[in-house]
Amino acid sequence: AMSRALGLGGEQMIGRRPDSFVQAAPSPDPRYPSEDDWLMAAGLEIRGTERLGRMPDGHYVWWQRWKTLLRDRATGEVSGLVCTVRDITEQRELERAALEAAENERWRLGSELHDGAGGTLAGIDMMLSALGRRLDAGGGEAQELAQIQETLRTAMQELKGIARGLAPVDLEHAGLHEALRRMLEQVEAASGLRCRLHGDPVPFTLLGAGDSTQLYR
């Protein structure tokens, strides 16, 4: 099964360390050359963790891994290690596709709210402003109209907040850095806390839409 998965013959694997023909997980302790050596020395095991691994031909796959120690029956000392892996690349790709589909739908709804309903409310606000200029400034109608406008503008701000929550990162024009800066401005305005954003803007081509939005959330 391992020969089929890696595209290698048995003669290329038998009797050799796994890290000589497949990318091994690094050891968290620099004293040991690989994760396997560290696990055996520390007496630890791994159960169902996931890791991105590089195949001999250069492409990457997602593995779910179990690493179980072998012990000498007489002494109880560690004598080896059994590693069982399962290729979950297709599962991870399906999960990523589902996340992207959900994110795209949120973006669509956010854009429709901002450009559709938001634009309509902005138009109503402009018409009310024009009507207010024609009314007697001292009359009751003008005061009532001003209250209506205030309520309308509050609703517009709430709508913008909902739309921004659905589609927070203006990837095409601003990107993640600018979206975070705007978010901090909102936090400052709402809480009075002083916020600072440290870091350089990351190019959209390097980060991508899905990663940018996930980091923002």
Q: Which residues pair with 68 in a beta bridge?
A: 82
pLDDT tier at 82 (50, 70, 90 boundaries)? Answer: very high
Please report the beta strands in the chain, taking only residues with DSSP state E, as ranges in sequence order: 46-54, 60-71, 78-87
Distance CA(165)–CA(159), nearest Å, equals 10
Question: pTM score, two decimals?
Answer: 0.51
Supply the pLDDT for residue 80.
93
Helices H / strands E in the chain, number of each: 8, 3
Residue 169 has pLDDT above 80, yes or no: no
Residue 188 pLDDT level (bands cut at 50, 70, 90): confident
Cβ atoms within 10 Å of 144's Cβ, excluding its own = 11
Tokens of 113: 């709210």
**pLDDT score of 204:** 55
Say if CB 187 and CB 194 are below 8 A apart: no
At 24-69, the pLDDT tens digits run 788 899 999 889 999 999 999 999 999 888 877 888 888 899 999 9
More confident residue, 43 or 201: 43
